[in-house]
Amino acid sequence: MPDAINTLTMTIPKTMMAVLQKEAGGPLYFEEIPTPKPEKGEVLVKMEYSPINPSDLSFLQGSYAEKPSYPAIPGIEGSGTVVASGGGFIANLRKGKRVTCTSTHGKGGSWSEYMVTSAMNVIPIKSNTSFEQAASLIVNPLTAIAFIDIAKKGKHKVIFNNAAGGALGKMVVRLGQANQIKVISMVRNDNQVKALKALGADFVINQTNHDFRQELKKIMQQLRPTLILDAVGGPMMEELVEFSPEGSIIMPYANLSEEKSAFDPRKLLQQDKKIIGFFLGNYTSKQNILKVLKSTKVAQKLIGSELKTDIQSVFPAASANEAVKTYKENMSIGKVLLDLNINR
């Protein structure tokens, strides 16, 4: 049993177990390291579960815009209980709360027994919200809610979303249906087409079809989506710029292709199209705290329906390499969670 220090809330060990990456693209290790201490405005969360997201894969590959210093703890979001505060009104208010949370750059990620993060990055969850569902309550649900809010404010009656076979794509389809917004979903195989059709999606195209370009051009001309959500990037950007209707907003929110984008800028200039990037952290930072809390309450309310997260498997944190491999092999059937409670 590691040495421990006493706090007002519980006995917190001086050391903890964490998933570490020691170089970009390198393997993951499960090692004992010092337990971090929160500073003013920060809290310490005893983690329960953390999902593997596409953005985590980018982090592991070393292609994230903000480069970490190694060894680094991966993980963007998760769930747990706030067990200590570094001081400050919001931080003290969060003590003892069951929360969904995101990591803070430079403070270590969520794939660890304990995580220090900004008090603004933890949101209390309802008593009937499981830690498993709460682990994925921020990134995908709040992104889907943001997309629909942007569509409604911009009066976009039809939106297009690629890489739509995963959890986020399904949420966008279901929220679109609930808000009378048509969603064109692009996926990578027929199984994903069937899965979205089973949700009631009306417009799904498979980018691996031999006539995909013609199909994309035709559906863009017929349905005229004016909000284009792009998670793929790379060569796909050129097709979206070319085929999107005049006056469209093309919104990159990931770069799953890991390739650079190139396109004819005259298509933007002459057809009044815009490219506006979306990053959830930037978007939420521009909203007031009440708006963010409201969105999270909506997410919890819809967690069993429009914003349900399918979970395909749960791995102990010590098996992080196997968990990442499993997620990469089939990202569309559900989230892979890391169990960070080593005593479970």
Q: Report in angstroms the alpha-carbon separations of 158 from 24, 187, 202, 243, 333.
A: 39, 17, 12, 15, 26
Peptide bond before residue 51 is cis, with ω within 30 degrees of 0: no
The domain segmentation of the chain, as residue ranges, is 4-136+309-339, 140-281
In this prediction, residue 307 carries a pLDDT of 79
CATH fold label, 4-136+309-339: Quinone Oxidoreductase; Chain A, domain 1 (3.90.180)
Amino acid 195 reads A
The mean pLDDT value for 222-232 works out to: 95
Q: Which two tokens stand for residue 51?
A: 């999902």
Residue 294 sits at the vertex; the CA angle it makes with 225 and 126, to the nearest 5 degrees, is 120
**Is residue 2 predicted with pLDDT exceeding 70?**
no
**Is residue 6 predicted with pLDDT exceeding 60?**
no
Over pLDDT 90: what percentage of the chain?
67
Residue owning tokens 């969105």: 295
Please, which pLDDT band fits residue 163 given cuts at 50, 70 and 90?
confident
Q: How far apart are CA 96 and CA 113, in angstroms?
A: 16
**Is residue 95 predicted with pLDDT exceeding 50?**
yes
Over pLDDT 70: what percentage of the chain?
96
Please, which pLDDT band fits residue 1 given cuts at 50, 70 and 90?
very low
The mean pLDDT value for 73-91 works out to: 95
Please, which pLDDT band fits residue 46 given cuts at 50, 70 and 90?
very high
CB 258 within 8 A of CB 234: yes
Please, which pLDDT band fits residue 146 given cuts at 50, 70 and 90?
very high
The mean pLDDT value for 287-316 works out to: 80
**Is residue 8 predicted with pLDDT exceeding 50?**
no
Helix H, strand E, coil C: the string for the chain is CCCEEECCCCEEECEEEEEEECCCCCCEEEEEEECCCCCCCEEEEEEEEEECCHHHHHHHHCCCCCCCCCCECCCCEEEEEEEEECCCHHHHHHCCCEEEEECCCCCCCCCECEEEEEHHHEEECCCCCCHHHHCCCCHHHHHHHHHHHHHHHCCCCEEEECCCCCHHHHHHHHHHHHCCCEEEEEECCHHHHHHHHHCCCCEEEECCCCCHHHHHHHHHHHHCCCEEEECCCCCHHHHHHHHCCCCCEEEECCCCCCCCCCCCHHHHHHHCCEECCCCHHHHHHCCCHHHHHHHHHHHHHCCCCCCCCCEEEEEEHHHHHHHHHHHHHCCCCCEEEEECCCCC
**Is residue 79 predicted with pLDDT exceeding 50?**
yes
Same fold, 4-136+309-339 and 140-281: no
Which tens digit of pLDDT belongs to each residue from 104-145?
A: 988 999 999 999 999 989 989 988 889 999 999 888 888 999
Residue owning tokens 């750059």: 105
**Is residue 292 predicted with pLDDT exceeding 80?**
no
In this prediction, residue 223 carries a pLDDT of 96
**Is residue 196 predicted with pLDDT exceeding 80?**
yes
- Between 111 and 343, residue with greater pLDDT: 111
In this prediction, residue 41 carries a pLDDT of 94
In this prediction, residue 28 carries a pLDDT of 98
Look at 6-10, 43-47, 192-196 and tell me which has the smallest mean pLDDT: 6-10
Please, which pLDDT band fits residue 10 given cuts at 50, 70 and 90?
low
In this prediction, residue 120 carries a pLDDT of 87
Task: Label residue 229 left, alpha or beta by phi (over 0 means left) and psi (-120 to 50 means alpha).
Answer: beta
Average pLDDT of every residue of the chain: 90
Residue 20, judged by CB atoms within 10 A of its CB (0-12, 13-18, 19+), counts as: buried
**Is residue 4 predicted with pLDDT exceeding 70?**
no
Supply the CATH classification number for the domain 140-281. 3.40.50.720
- Between 7 and 252, residue with greater pLDDT: 252
Beta bridge partners of 275: 250
The mean pLDDT value for 250-270 works out to: 90
In this prediction, residue 5 carries a pLDDT of 33
In this prediction, residue 280 carries a pLDDT of 87
CB 122 within 8 A of CB 193: no
